[in-house]
Chain A
Amino acid sequence: MSRFLVISPSRVGAMVLRYSYLLRSSWPRLLDLVYWPAVQMLMWGFLQLYLTQNAGFFARAGGTFIGALLLWDILFRGQLGFSVSFLEEMWSRNLANLMISPLRPVEFVLALMIMSVVRLAIGVIPVSVLAIAFFGFNLWGLGLALAAFFANLLLTSWAVGIFVSGLLVRNGLGAENMAWTIMFILLPLTCVYYPVAVLPHWLQHVAWALPPTYVFEGMRALLIDHVFRADLMVEALALNVVFFLAGAAAFMGLLKSARRSGALMQGGE
């Protein structure tokens, strides 16, 4: 196991540099990071505004839609930022060059995690400012709770991103759609916009097996009842550790399988 844990900051830095060159070289790529989160935030924000003006409960639950949307974007964009950086290597047919270099899988994954945070920051920071300007919802006002929500959502997004990268290595660009759509299965199951109690009883067990459910429940507790549920965050963290280790194990297994099947030689096609 120890040979997988040898990490060269210089090689991680080289990969981060490679992705930052790419982002800097293309304004449409940068714009794309902000465009869709901004559109969604405006749409949900105006819907919530309408509901708060017309229903007592929503008036009390001010900000839950926009809060849920911004947190969902952290989860979704975190995974997408990870997976798209990986896809860049396949689109440019560069994966074999990396796999024959001294770059180790753990260094590659670390670079993708850093890029996921960078891409997320480019997308979410401007949109969170827009949320203040348009709807008076200050995500940053959640303070320490936001840090707990953010850390847990990011861990889940990385776990899923690592697993998807393994699928891409093993199956090539045929698995590309998974990178774009895999997170959407979590949208209904993790109860982003409604409480877990809404789900049928049997499905609630599934929901509670997913770390983001704890974050979205925690957010509603904070915004509606003004209570920070640290217990939920600790449970989410424990589940995230399991998810992350499972994602990493799946990635290593799929990489080994790709070496056996010759998929690495085909450069991802």
Chain B
Amino acid sequence: MSASPAIAVDRLVKRYKTATAVAGISFALAPGSITALLGGNGAGKTTTIAMVLGLVEPTAGSVSVLGAEMPRERYRVLGRMNFESPYVEMPRRLTVRQNLGVFGRLYGVADLAGRIAALAAELDLTEFIDRETGKLSSGQRTRVGLAKALINEPEVLLLDEPTASLDPDTADWVRAHLDRYRQRRGATILLASHNMVEVERLCDRVIMMRRGTIVDDGAPAELLARYGRDTLEEVFLDVARGRGEVREAAQ
């Protein structure tokens, strides 16, 4: 890896009062790469993403994004990043255009009307762009969330289960769009997901987490070979149930 990493995480720890969510993980993501954080519930994926975004302060260790230490230097880079999650919503009483307009202004987007029109065309929002966001279907809302996440054409895009609650067709469409965006913009994408198809299709690297630690890390093909499995879902189950360690010990 010759270029500086877009995201560098070093011995990162997050302890809450009674639990350790992230227990000393390290990884670096190359610019233009797309990486999945894979793991079961409580593995520490969302907390890791929140620390990368500067929403949560680490207990120990460090996170840097585009060379800025998070959360201390976050205002240097927040304008070059963005985030989408079905669990974070946008004001429901505002229309899609109004919401995108507000976020476009917050991110200082030049030619905002043109950018909104381009996003509406790319993400197929034109039909409901002047409808209240709260009156859209969950699939439409996810596309609007994605439009918000792309409004500033971020260099670093973080996604938390980007296709959760979408039908297979819409989910596939969203994945294709993310891939095109990454290729066009050269953006670095880090996503947390439970969806193995999504991870296999999109990602060039998978970081597998369990109980706040990284238990494996590699390209999807490498992981399949290492665990002797045909699908990432089987690998995921091995890791989630601790069978990976058993297999390693046996070998």
A101 at the interface (CB under 8 A from B): yes
> Are B90 and A97 neighbours in the complex by a CB distance under 8 Å?
yes
Q: Are A100 and B93 in contact (CB under 8 A)?
A: no
Residue B20 lies at the interface, judged by CB distance under 8 Å to chain A: no
Task: Looking at the assembled complex, report how far the CB atom of A134 sits from the nearest CB atom of chain B, in whole angstroms.
Answer: 34
The residue of chain B having its C-beta at the shortest distance from the C-beta of A13 within the complex is B105
Q: Contact partner of B92 among A92, A100, A256, A260, CB < 8 A?
A: A92
What total of A-B pairs shows CB separation below 8 Å? 102
Please, what's the 1-or-0 string for A19-33, where 1 marks a CB less than 8 Å from any CB in chain B?
001100110000000
Q: In the complex where A21-B94, A92-B91 touch, is A259 in contact with B55 (Cβ < 8 A)?
A: yes
Does B242 make an interface contact (CB < 8 A)?
no
Question: Smallest CB–CB gap between B141 and chain A, Å?
Answer: 12
How many B residues touch the partner, as a band? Answer: 35 or more
Contact with B along A255-269 (1 / 0, CB 8 A): 010011110110100
Residue of B81, B82, B83, B89 near A92 (CB, 8 A) is B89
Chain A residues whose C-beta falls within 8 Å of the C-beta of B92 in the assembled complex: 92
**Contact: B91 with A103, CB < 8 Å?**
no
Q: A17-B101, A22-B93, A92-B92 are in contact. Are A267 and B106 (CB under 8 A)?
A: no
Cβ-based interface call for A99 (8 A) = yes
Q: Which of B55, B78, B87, B148 contacts A264 (CB 8 A)?
A: B55
Chain A residues with CB below 8 A from B132, complex form: 25
Contact B93 A26 (CB under 8 A): yes
- B148 to A100, Cβ gap below 8 A? no
Does the CB pair B50–A262 fall under 8 Å? yes
Q: Answer whether residue A3 sits at the interface, using C-beta atoms and an 8 A cutoff.
A: yes
Q: Hey, what's the 0/1 contact readout for A113-154 against B, CB within 8 Å counting as 1?
A: 000000000000000000000000000000000000000000
Instruction: Report if A8 contacts B (CB, 8 A).
Output: yes
B1-41 interface code vs A (CB 8 A; 1 in, 0 out): 00000000000001010000100000000000000000000
CB pair B55–A100 under 8 Å, yes or no, is: yes
Are A100 and B83 within 8 A (Cβ)?
Answer: yes
* Chain B residues, CB < 8 A from A262: 14, 16, 21, 47, 50, 56
User: Do the beta carbons of B89 and A94 come within 8 Å of each other?
Assistant: yes
Cβ of B56: which chain A residues have Cβ within 8 Å of it? 259-260, 262, 264-265
Residues from chain B with Cβ under 8 Å of A265 in the complex = 46-47, 50, 55-56
Inter-chain contact B91/A94, CB cutoff 8 Å: yes
Partner of A103, one of B21, B81, B93, B106: B106
Contact of A104 among B47, B75, B93, B107 (CB under 8 A): B75
Q: Is the CB of A102 within 8 A of B107?
A: yes
Q: Give the nearest-CB partner of B151 in chain A.
A: A101
Docked Cα-Cα span, A6 to B108, in Å, equals 15
B contact set with A: CB distance below 8 Å: 14, 16, 21, 46-47, 50, 53-57, 71, 75, 78-79, 81-83, 85, 87-94, 98, 101-103, 105-108, 132, 148
Could you pull out 12 A-B pairs where Cβ atoms are within 8 angstroms? A11-B106, A14-B105, A18-B102, A21-B102, A97-B88, A99-B55, A100-B78, A101-B106, A103-B106, A259-B54, A259-B71, A262-B16
Contact residues of A with B, CB < 8 Å?
A: 3, 6, 8, 10-11, 13-15, 17-18, 21-22, 25-26, 88, 92-94, 96-104, 256, 259-262, 264-265, 267
